[in-house]
Structure 1
Amino acid sequence: MERCHAFASLIFAWFSLFGCVQAVTLEVTEGNSTCIKAELSASFSIPYDTPSGAKTALVSLPDSATVDAGSSSCGSGGGPSRLVTAFGSGHALGLSFVANGSLYRVANLTLQYNLSDASVFPEANGSGVVAVASSSVGIWAPVNSSYRCVSSSTFAVGDAAVTFWNMRLEAYMPGSDLSPTESVCMADKASTTAPPTTAGTTTAAPPPTPAGKPQQGNYSVTDSNGTVCLLARMGLQLNVSYSSRSQNKTIRALVNVAPNATTPSGSCDATNATLILTGADATTLTLGFTLNATSNKYHLSAITLQADWSDMTAPIRAGNNSLDYMRSSLGRSYMCNAEQTLAVAPTFSLNTFRLQIQPFQVATDRFAAAEECQLDQDHMLIPIVVGAALAGLVLVVLIAYLIGRRRSHAGYQTI
């Protein structure tokens, strides 16, 4: 019986250890009451200067992030309710809430980052803590309901950008659990797979292409000799913030790139390759790749979007020429089946799905052997680790069983 209890405890421990990774959960409490609760994932795109030029640091909110009790508040003294989470070496994210009786909203989004943290900002020209803020984020919900946004949403905070996804939060809570009544963000409403929305939220004018999971397209670029020099197979989704003519305010929309309505073009040379995707709805997406001839490594270094949709009050152009995505080796392709969110600018991020791309040394019009992204490797690692753990448990039980049988026969002698 004791061995059975030990075996059950071991199984519970192993499954607890290798369970699914969840979004960070943060709570602001006062006494025994919870006033703010958030479950979310977040990443940050922060530009900074170095002796060799401008760079962009990409940081994710780690599982170790904690609530800064000294800076967080339930607003009992008449001030705003505030959630501040601290992470890393001197970094912090803050959300301040206000309510008008029937609605509450994020009135202020703040980001604090420490340029002295060399692990995040290598070779930074400056040092010390920098604080930036934004008051226009569009996160709101009726009182006694929770706000939910599974889709990624990017907000400008000073020169930096904060991207949230898998977000559920509530302020001015009557209890300790998030309300089952949800106010769903516009990006989730646009998705064909999103759950039904609840009353109290607004609906944006439909973008040129309906959102949802984008169709995978095949694209190629040829050089001056007519030889294919860049191959790409991927689903693309634009996450764009723009001024809406129909709603008379700034909205954020998810727009899929439709392969059958998109014309690829571009150029290639020894160290640079460009893929230009031109849509029928006055949309042009440009991806620029750079090869480091010394290390024989290439990466996605630039993304630019130009769009002029019928609901826009003015055309938009957003881009970044100092990116570092999709890093791979010369002579190999880069592959990532998992969904990736590439932060580009405060008003624009790019979501990729089932992607494989090779911008240099394309042979026989086919992809070379692929180097997989970290997300795909992590997805494969978890089943392997769990399988190995279970195999180890079976071995432990078998050894315990054999030892138990040997001991049970020790008290008997042959005649």
Structure 2
Amino acid sequence: MSFVAVFIVFFFFAVSGRLEAVTLEVKEGNSTCIKAELSASLSITYLTSNSSKTVSVLLPDSALVDAANSSCGTNSSSPQLVALFGPGHGIGLSFSTNGSVYSVTELTLSYNLSDASLFPEAELSGVVALTNDSVEIRAPINTTYRCMSPTTIRVREDSVTFSNMRLEAYMPGNDLSPAESVCAADQTTTPATPTTAATTTTAAPAPTPPGTPVRGTYSVKNSNGTECLLAQMGLQLNVSYVSQSQNKTVQELFNLTPNLTSSSGSCGASRASLVLTQEPTLTLNFTFTMNTTSNKYHLSGIDLQANWSDTTAPFSASNTSLDFLRSTLGRSYMCNAEQTLQVVPTFALNTFRLQVQPFGVTTKQFATAEECQVDQDQMLIPIVVGAALAGLVLIVLIAYLIGRKRSHAGYQTF
């Protein structure tokens, strides 16, 4: 089930000010549901009568939460944090969750051109609102997103730069979770220890390949307890990450272990998700999308969040623009052959003996399967070979019979 939390912070600019860290939180009773500790700076370009100007807007530490408009959400409304400062300047972050990972789905930037102290000689007036729905901020549930490095997000011609950020939504307690998901900009490699002529090192042995993964059976149930998504597959993660023990980027294969993996997710008319969780290190989320016009569906997104012991920081990879496992409503997709689904340059998913049906499940059994092209080609090869052998046998048999007939003709008497 998805929820959306909107995080809105209104700003004011002080010319002689400096970038301050601000703490903002929303409570319901004694419980905190959203908390943010961050510094932020806006770069805004606006038109004047003669040309254009660019101003910087800083978030001061005096920004306060607006209790009247902030809430943890209800069944019909999203959680919101609203902090007021100045006459209508603002930025917003929209959150969603699939039950295991929360992410920022939209950044909203608002500023009031009628504020002459910030926008002198502005040609226009009133509040301008802009949005960006491609924000790469995500973390597992019960984990704090941390990014100390400056992160600039473009919003059309303007931009927002966050730094010293620690942020969490859908909080289980009153303070930020001690477990952290660190952004890529903060994931630095530890320098190698210098060696002298008298020092000898032994290279770490290459890891043993894990072999073919075990095929697992997974499902998702709807609100009345019946299966709405079925999947059977062996899964192997092919990832590149910075190794602590080897102090370099390595490529590893990790097999998903079905008896240690739980499944959850959601089903909808045009979107379905399958979330596989292997505690305590890994969450793998599949998103399927249905085209209601053509009644065709496909795997449109994969998100991996992992925290292996040898990584220098939690591993994160996501792509929501995929086009794999295409099939038709009322049918399942099947591919017994090994497939490689390239998600991002640092992560590919290898599948084995896969069958999945995310829509149109009416019983606990898969519907008739549409097979992948590789399986069809593999089935065609023995048919072609068999037909060729049968043709060869037939040719030999005909040649033999013709030869026998001619030999008998040579012994005839007159």
Structure 1 length as normaliser, TM-score?
A: 0.49
Structure 2 length as normaliser, TM-score?
A: 0.49
Higher Cα Rg, which structure: 2
